[in-house]
Amino acid sequence: MSTWSSILVKSAALMNDQDRAVYSDIVLLPYLNIALSELQEIFELNNIPVTSTSSATIAIPIGTSLIGYLTIPPLPTDLVEIQQMWESQTGQNNWTPVTKKEYLTSSILGNVSLSMFGVWAWLNQQVNLRPSINAIDIRFDYIKNLFAEITIGLVGTDNPIVNTDTFFEYRAAALAAEFIEENITRADKLNIYGVSGLERSLGISVKGKQSIAIRRRPFRAAFKRRRTLL
């Protein structure tokens, strides 16, 4: 794996600054962090497997109706979007899915004491529940946040996501070309290379999700024949 610093060395080289006279780690780091945020959102949008994870078991006390990032117990700190919630009687490890609702209306809440949640809703960045008369264990399958913002003290650490170096190298350089040098022509060309790196990364991840081997047309085959987007 490449370190963030080695990625930025290549970004500087793409700006014709192999000696790092202008494009030091400090100068390029904000643009790398922007590229990190972009890739995070792209991976989440495309449900790339590296963003998917499952939580540890969370013990929910009797009468709990809200679970948020700041409640006790809290949601996982890296949780971005819940894909499935599961529940089990405490200590039983017998998991059943909990149905997601848009809202917990009065008709859904009812006035009967419950022994299991059954349904949940995501409102105000909190899991909303029907209070239970029992303590219940829950787990989440969820999309997680991949990256924390990189500080200058962390540029020597590894990029943890394989097959993304090329995207970061070109995208950080492209942002610098556009917003430091204000050279749109260079930025556009660097972005083209960055998009190609991103497409390869996404293609490798998507291919890994396919359980049945089928023949597919090459990516953008029609575009390559027509040389037009229309």
- DSSP secondary structure, 31-42, as one string: HHHHHHHHHHHH
Taking CA atoms, 198 is separated from 38, 165, 182, 191, 192, in Å, by 11, 9, 23, 10, 10
- The region of weakest confidence among 25-34, 80-89, 210-219 is 210-219
What pLDDT was estimated at residue 219?
Answer: 46
What would the mean pLDDT of 187-206 be, rounded to a whole number? 92
What pLDDT was estimated at residue 212?
Answer: 39
CA–CA distance, 35 with 48 (Å, rounded to integer): 17
What would the mean pLDDT of 123-132 be, rounded to a whole number? 94
Whether 65 and 128 have beta carbons less than 8 Å apart is answered as: yes
Q: Give the pLDDT confidence of 41-77 residue by residue, as tens digits.
A: 999 988 888 999 999 999 999 999 999 999 999 999 9
The percent of residues in the chain predicted with pLDDT above 70, rounded, is 89
In one letter, which amino acid is 97? P
Q: Give the pLDDT confidence of 147-173 residue by residue, as tens digits.
A: 889 999 999 999 999 999 999 999 999
What pLDDT was estimated at residue 204?
Answer: 79
Q: Give the pLDDT confidence of 8-22 residue by residue, as tens digits.
A: 999 999 999 999 999
CA–CA distance, 13 with 185 (Å, rounded to integer): 17
In this predicted structure, the answer to whether residue 114 has a pLDDT above a threshold of 90 is no
Q: Which residues pair with 100 in a beta bridge?
A: 120
What pLDDT was estimated at residue 229?
Answer: 38
- Dihedral (CA of 139, 142, 146, 148) sign: negative
Higher pLDDT, residue 25 or 111? 25
pTM of the model: 0.78
What pLDDT was estimated at residue 109?
Answer: 76
CA–CA distance, 199 with 208 (Å, rounded to integer): 14
Whether 74 and 125 have beta carbons less than 8 Å apart is answered as: no
What pLDDT was estimated at residue 82?
Answer: 96
In one letter, which amino acid is 76? P
Identify the band that residue 107 occupies on the pLDDT scale cut at 50, 70 and 90.
Answer: confident
What pLDDT was estimated at residue 217?
Answer: 53
Q: Give the pLDDT confidence of 141-153 residue by residue, as tens digits.
A: 999 998 889 999 9
What pLDDT was estimated at residue 218?
Answer: 53
Where do the structural domains in the chain lie, given as residue ranges? 4-49+147-209, 51-144
What would the mean pLDDT of 173-194 be, rounded to a whole number? 97
Please name the residue that has the structure tokens 């599961």. Answer: 86
In this predicted structure, the answer to whether residue 207 has a pLDDT above a threshold of 90 is no
